[in-house]
A and B are shown apart, each in its own frame.
Chain A
Amino acid sequence: MKGYVKYYGQKVLWYVLTLIIALALNFFLPRMMPGDPVAALASDEVANMTEKSAIEKVYQDYRERFGLDKSMPEQFVTYLGNLFQGDMGTSFSQYPRGVSEIIGESILWTIGLQVPAIIVGWLIGNLLGAIAAYTRRGFDKIVMPLFMFISNMPAFGMAIIMVWVFAVTLKVLPASGGYGFDLLPSFSFEYVGSVLRHYQLPFWTMVLITIGGQAIGMRSMSIYELNADYVKYSRFLGIRDNKIVRYVFRNAMLPQITGLALSLGTMVGGNIVAEMIFSYPGIGTTMLGAITGGDYPLISGCTLMITIMVLIANLVVEILYGIIDPRVKAAQQEA
């Protein structure tokens, strides 16, 4: 048990360190770009202004708001201080709403959509990959090429096709939004029903994309494992196939979990762009709006939140892996 604590303790520490660096990047990157940061930040706002004094006033306003007249380290400290109080600044495009408020709303939609989608997609994808590896003949020959192609389609591409086919052409599901335009959030059946209907397309799109990628990987791993020595040995001791299959898939799953951790960043990125296609009220759409509106604080808040989400997800997966793989436990106990 002691070994466990050390193992996990180290991991959490590492993640905290990563978080701090992410915060720093989030803060410093834009400010390190060539040119006057104020001009870049205010570029959209002053785009249509011609009067010099007006433009200068806007710049001054920005400088004060961002504390850009202070030194960099000072700014960073202020930033961190605000952050810990939950204040991510004020949004430009949705003035005077606070960034934290906006993100707080949208993040719920995103999590509610992506977490189940990734889990379901991962489970189904691995299952299909395992079946394909085991049966090898009919199922495999059809499934493999199909999934190979799907896994190469960008997430937003799948999203667009789904919207076009199901919402526009067949008109069976709504094309955008998280719920009907005419409804207000409440606990009524109508609202919940509408939310569920709007959930279908984005959800199944993300599931499909995840399945494509996972199935291929699981299939390769399973084929590799199925040829392992211990499989032959078990057979020679008379153990039946269905038991052996269980060994194999359990072993093949482990690298898949690690793989999940590594690809979470990309997956979330892709899903976020997909969210935009559906105008789903999650963080993706919020970020798109922020970018179009030149709303720097909101963009910064969004990127930070997304990074935190991915970090937490990664940590969870790594913890899970440590629990499932007995080799990890063994290594710790030995040490």
Chain B
Amino acid sequence: MKHQIKQIFHSPKFVVGFIVFVFLLLMAIIYPMVSAVGPLESMSKIKFLAPGTYINVEDTLNAEAGVIELDVVANRVIAALTEDEKTKMVEWLELYGGVEEGSIDIGDAETLINTWNSKYDEDIRVTGTTALRKEYQRLAARVENLLESSGVSIAEKNENGELEIVKSYKTKEFVGVNDIANKINFPLGTDNFGRDVLTELTSAIGTSLRLGLIAGLIATLIGLTFGLVAGYCGGVVDNLITFLTNLFTVIPSFILLVLISYSLGQGSRSVEIVAIVIGLTGWPWTARSVRSQVVSLRNRDHVNLSKLSGHSMPRIIVMDILPYVASYVVMALILQISSGILAEAQLSMLGLGPSTTKMATLGLMMNWSQQASAWQTGAWWSFLPVILSIALVTFSLNLMNTGLDQVFNPQLRDS
């Protein structure tokens, strides 16, 4: 036993999987505790804030400003222009500005502005409709306008109701981020409810793991019981259980989940209930695996000895057969947890997952993201990290399982 544990921790696959898993687990437990915001706390009415640090505008006005010699104008102009406008600028430059096609990089703000400034000439005749010509003229005017903007003034209404300039800023004045009193960092942005994705995600990982554990335990217990009984008893009992197992292997568990979840109705689908349902439909695989192992064990000498000694069947099963099946059970549990988490994610995507507003699961996050059309609008932070988390969780679990498999079944070692 101790030797096996030592072997397990020497298996590279197991160790890698274990490390990743423990990391995710720790993140799930610790981050929500240390995070400044709650996992389901809506921080913003604006949907989908991109990842980054958000600073309070008023505070920037109050902080001490200093001049830094950077060419801010070009960046500002480029930020202000739309993609369309930038494309039009490049178009004009290539057609009339004598610029080689494809030589201007739309992403390079400074070069674009500088080239435009040096090459643009409103007198050059533009072929095409009047509307097109006017468009270019408007574009030129806009760019010029943006270039000229220098400095900003803050005005407030004084006692007389008139606007009085309170403070003026030069164009190249900057304030330090650390001087801002109010700022918040959203490492992964916010989702469509305005919640901090990172906090929500780590909390969701925790919930999903818990769900997976419940589902896995139930599935493994049922599978273990069926497998033991079927394998040991043989005969009619075996045939019956095997028939049942094959039945539930071929009928997609996914379908059963859909039917049961839908029938439960929105009101009864808590995280725990969903976990139980998933567990109730996931056992066939474990049952099959345990049964084949038990069948090969039941004619071993020590079992026959126990039979001869008159030990009762439950006792034989528990004391003589179970220890040998233990390794399979552990592996089965890991796989069941992994598939349980996946099953929940799929269910949630269909809208049949846990219906709760107090917790987030990985599947629910995906569902919310989908309903807010996240990937159509490019809010990658609301779904990509979730997908990666699901993949990492299942990956680490499966890796641990493969590592265990290679320890218990040496012929699978791949050297």
A→B interface (CB under 8 Å):
14-15, 18, 21-22, 25-26, 29-30, 32-35, 40, 43, 148-149, 152-154, 156-157, 160-161, 163-164, 168-169, 175, 220, 223-224, 227, 262, 265-266, 268-270, 272-273, 276-277, 287-288, 291-292, 296, 299-300, 303, 306-307, 310-311, 314
A-B contact pairs, 18 of them (CB 8 A): A14-B246, A21-B251, A29-B260, A30-B259, A33-B263, A34-B268, A154-B390, A156-B349, A157-B390, A265-B249, A269-B253, A269-B346, A270-B346, A292-B351, A303-B258, A306-B255, A310-B251, A314-B250
Q: Which of B253, B255, B260 has the most CB of A within 10 A?
A: B255
Please determine whether B251 and A22 come into contact, CB atoms closer than 8 angstroms: yes
Contact for A291 among B254, B350, B378, CB less than 8 A:
B350
Minimal Cβ-Cβ distance residue in B for A27: B259
Q: Which residues of A contact B345 (CB under 8 A)?
A: 154, 156
Please determine whether B258 and A276 come into contact, CB atoms closer than 8 angstroms: no
CA distance A307 to B370 in the complex (A): 26
Contact for A164 among B266, B349, B375, CB less than 8 A:
B375
Contact flags B350-364 to A (C-beta < 8 A → 1, else 0): 111000000000000
Q: Decide yes or no: A164 and B255 within 8 Å by CB, A154-B342, A156-B366, A223-B414 being known contacts.
A: no
Contact for B394 among A152, A156, A287, A310, CB less than 8 A:
A152
Q: How far is the CB of A267 from chain B (nearest CB, A)?
A: 9
Q: Decide yes or no: A18 and B395 within 8 Å by CB, A40-B263, A156-B366, A224-B411 being known contacts.
A: no
In B333-384, the 8 Å CB interface with A consists of 342, 345-346, 349-352, 366, 370, 375-376, 378, 380, 383-384
Contact for B250 among A175, A288, A311, CB less than 8 A:
A311
Is B256 part of the contact surface with A, judged by Cβ < 8 Å?
A: yes
Q: Which residues of B contact A300 (CB under 8 A)?
A: 259
In B231-270, the 8 Å CB interface with A consists of 246-247, 249-256, 258-260, 262-266, 268
Please determine whether A299 and B258 come into contact, CB atoms closer than 8 angstroms: yes
Q: How far is the CB of A308 from chain B (nearest CB, A)?
A: 10
Please determine whether B252 and A273 come into contact, CB atoms closer than 8 angstroms: no
Minimal Cβ-Cβ distance residue in A for B288: A262
Please determine whether A220 and B376 come into contact, CB atoms closer than 8 angstroms: no
Please determine whether A265 and B265 come into contact, CB atoms closer than 8 angstroms: no
Q: How far is the CB of A91 from chain B (nearest CB, A)?
A: 15
Q: How far is the CB of B269 from chain A (nearest CB, A)?
A: 12
CA distance A152 to B387 in the complex (A): 10
Q: Which residues of A contact B387 (CB under 8 A)?
A: 153-154, 157, 160-161
Please determine whether A153 and B252 come into contact, CB atoms closer than 8 angstroms: no
Please determine whether A291 and B346 come into contact, CB atoms closer than 8 angstroms: no
Please determine whether A269 and B366 come into contact, CB atoms closer than 8 angstroms: no
Is B24 part of the contact surface with A, judged by Cβ < 8 Å?
A: no
Q: Which of A149, A160, A175 has the most CB of B within 10 A?
A: A160
Contact for B249 among A30, A220, A262, CB less than 8 A:
A262
CA distance A25 to B380 in the complex (A): 40
Q: Which residues of B contact A223 (CB under 8 A)?
A: 414
Q: Decide yes or no: A149 and B391 within 8 Å by CB, A29-B259, A33-B264 being known contacts.
A: yes
Is B398 part of the contact surface with A, judged by Cβ < 8 Å?
A: yes
Please determine whether A148 and B375 come into contact, CB atoms closer than 8 angstroms: no
Minimal Cβ-Cβ distance residue in B for A14: B246
Q: Which of B260, B263, B264 has the most CB of A within 10 A?
A: B263
Contact for A168 among B247, B253, B350, B378, CB less than 8 A:
B378
Please determine whether A299 and B262 come into contact, CB atoms closer than 8 angstroms: yes
Is B214 part of the contact surface with A, judged by Cβ < 8 Å?
A: no
Contact for A310 among B250, B262, B412, CB less than 8 A:
B250
Q: Decide yes or no: A18 and B247 within 8 Å by CB, A29-B260, A157-B387, A291-B262 being known contacts.
A: yes
Q: Which residues of B contact A266 (CB under 8 A)?
A: 252-254
Please determine whether A18 and B352 come into contact, CB atoms closer than 8 angstroms: no
Contact for B378 among A169, A224, A288, A303, CB less than 8 A:
A169
Chain B interface size, as a band, is: 35 or more
Please determine whether B412 and A18 come into contact, CB atoms closer than 8 angstroms: no
Q: Which residues of B contact A149 (CB under 8 A)?
A: 391, 395
Minimal Cβ-Cβ distance residue in B for A158: B387
Please determine whether A291 and B399 come into contact, CB atoms closer than 8 angstroms: no
CA distance A43 to B350 in the complex (A): 18
Q: Decide yes or no: A303 and B375 within 8 Å by CB, A18-B251, A265-B251 being known contacts.
A: no
In the A-B complex, the 7 residue pairs with the smallest Cβ-Cβ separation, listed nearest first, are A269-B254, A265-B252, A157-B387, A30-B263, A152-B395, A33-B263, A164-B375
CA distance A62 to B301 in the complex (A): 63
Please determine whether B265 and A161 come into contact, CB atoms closer than 8 angstroms: no
Q: Which residues of A contact B375 (CB under 8 A)?
A: 160, 163-164, 168
CA distance A273 to B387 in the complex (A): 14
Q: Which of B250, B375, B398 has the most CB of A within 10 A?
A: B250
Please determine whether B251 and A307 come into contact, CB atoms closer than 8 angstroms: yes
Please determine whether A288 and B255 come into contact, CB atoms closer than 8 angstroms: no
Q: Decide yes or no: A164 and B380 within 8 Å by CB, A157-B387, A273-B350 being known contacts.
A: yes
Q: Which of A26, A157, A169, A287 has the most CB of B within 10 A?
A: A157
Please determine whether A307 and B252 come into contact, CB atoms closer than 8 angstroms: yes
Contact for A175 among B249, B351, B376, CB less than 8 A:
B376
Contact for A156 among B266, B346, B411, CB less than 8 A:
B346
Q: Which residues of B contact A296 (CB under 8 A)?
A: 262
Please determine whether B258 and A26 come into contact, CB atoms closer than 8 angstroms: no
In B389-408, the 8 Å CB interface with A consists of 390-391, 394-395, 398-399
Q: Which of B256, B349, B366, B395 has the most CB of A within 10 A?
A: B349
Minimal Cβ-Cβ distance residue in B for A164: B375
